Copies of this chain bind each other. A is one copy, B any other.
Amino acid sequence: MSVFTPVTPEELSAWLRHYAVGTLLALEGIAEGIENTNYRVTTTQGRFVLTLFEKLSAEELPFYVDLMAHLAEHGIPCPRPIAGLDDRRFRPLKGKPACLVSFLPGRPQEQPAPDHCAAVGAVLAEAHLAGTSYPRRLDNPRGPKWWRATAHELMPRLCPEDAALLKEELRFQALYRFHDLPRGVIHGDLFRDNVFFLEGRVSGLIDFYFAGNDVLLYDLAITANDWCLDAQGQMDEERCRALLCAYHEVRPLTAIERGAWPVLLRAAALRFWVSRLFDWHFPRPGELTHAKDPEHCKRILTAHIAAQARLARLWV
């Protein structure tokens, strides 16, 4: 259960007077969510989701909240922040910045088929296109600078094998400079639990709180690393092809992007291996239960390294 900040119907009703969304009918905590408190809210005017931000500050929020508004206005199925009578998209509730967004129907697809991967690839490409005109900027806080700094903190805690692998991967990634790859606003965390499906179609992309400006292909690699793996953690060729083809149909990949793909898959695996190692070795108080095993991400990384090595041998 992830309701860190309890809200009563009375408290919410008072808060909703700042909005034109009708009268509160029902309020229900949402168990999912590690970083924020989420409630399902039903009013006389429809269904909404209330988010109380447990860590993000009012100064940090506009990038994320306005991004969702921008993408939703362009037809991307993502939560649409509701503005208050004073036109603001968030306001304090129980001492936390809080935001009311539109409710999205559908459920995550835990066992995606190639069709699901294609649908996600297409919507991700549309989101990348729609993001082009987004005026705010935020350098992806989980990019190369972050993983180098975090790896430095981690090194003393790692076993020799992991330390060597991490060091070697950092060296490898530093060899590649991504200045020629198309950049833009990325979701940054488009795992299966952040995509809703309804009747076979993508009905929602959620959780934009790892979004930022970065290489677009990095976003696609993060997505592939979660959507296109088989039970052994190896890339499933059919699902990966479905994802890439559908993306390419909407935003054609350049020759440079095709060449960079194996490197970006490794970069995406590295990013999540590093963050999971960090959460594992530096658990935040009260959050131990949420720390996910870093081994899964390490396996993805080593599988990509092995696959690239096989590919390289073909060229020799």
Of B45, B81, B85, B130, which contacts A20 at CB under 8 A?
Answer: B130
Count, chain A residues at interface, CB 8 A? 36
When the two chains form their complex, are residues B87 and A75 in contact, meaning their CB atoms are under 8 A apart? no
- Segment from A118-126, A172-180, A212-220, A231-239 that makes contact with B: A118-126
Alpha-carbon distance A86/B85, docked complex (angstroms): 28
When the two chains form their complex, are residues B129 and A45 in contact, meaning their CB atoms are under 8 A apart? no
When the two chains form their complex, are residues A45 and B82 in contact, meaning their CB atoms are under 8 A apart? no
Of B46, B119, B202, which contacts A75 at CB under 8 A?
Answer: B46
Closest to A203 in B: B46
Chain B residues whose CB sits within 8 angstroms of the CB of A126 once the complex forms:
20-22, 45
Minimum Cβ distance to chain B for residue A50 (Å): 12
Residue-wise interface mask of A (118-152) relative to B, using a CB-CB cutoff of 8 A (1 in contact, 0 not):
01001100110110110000000000000000000
When the two chains form their complex, are residues A133 and B87 in contact, meaning their CB atoms are under 8 A apart? yes
Q: Does A44 contact B (CB under 8 A)?
A: yes
Alpha-carbon distance A218/B161, docked complex (angstroms): 77
Alpha-carbon distance A151/B193, docked complex (angstroms): 62
When the two chains form their complex, are residues B85 and A130 in contact, meaning their CB atoms are under 8 A apart? yes
Chain B residues whose CB sits within 8 angstroms of the CB of A123 once the complex forms:
22, 45
When the two chains form their complex, are residues A82 and B73 in contact, meaning their CB atoms are under 8 A apart? yes
Alpha-carbon distance A48/B64, docked complex (angstroms): 25
Of B44, B74, B122, which contacts A82 at CB under 8 A?
Answer: B74
Given A20-B74, A69-B73, A132-B85, A44 contacting B122 (CB threshold 8 A): yes
In residues 250-301 of chain A, which contact B (Cβ within 8 Å)?
A: none
Alpha-carbon distance A74/B89, docked complex (angstroms): 9
Alpha-carbon distance A202/B16, docked complex (angstroms): 18
Chain B residues whose CB sits within 8 angstroms of the CB of A197 once the complex forms:
none
Chain B residues whose CB sits within 8 angstroms of the CB of A201 once the complex forms:
44-46
Minimum Cβ distance to chain B for residue A181 (Å): 20
When the two chains form their complex, are residues A75 and B21 in contact, meaning their CB atoms are under 8 A apart? yes
Minimum Cβ distance to chain B for residue A109 (Å): 15
Q: Which residues of A contact B (CB under 8 A)?
A: 19-23, 44-46, 48, 69, 73-77, 80-87, 100, 119, 122-123, 126-127, 129-130, 132-133, 201-203
**Cβ contacts A to B, 13 pairs, < 8 Å:** A20-B74, A20-B130, A46-B75, A46-B203, A48-B75, A69-B73, A73-B80, A74-B85, A75-B83, A75-B100, A80-B80, A85-B130, A87-B133
Q: 6 closest Cβ contacts across the A-B interface?
A: A21-B75, A20-B130, A20-B126, A75-B82, A73-B83, A20-B74
Extra pairs beyond A21-B74, A80-B80 (7, CB < 8 Å):
A21-B126, A22-B126, A44-B119, A45-B75, A74-B85, A75-B82, A87-B133
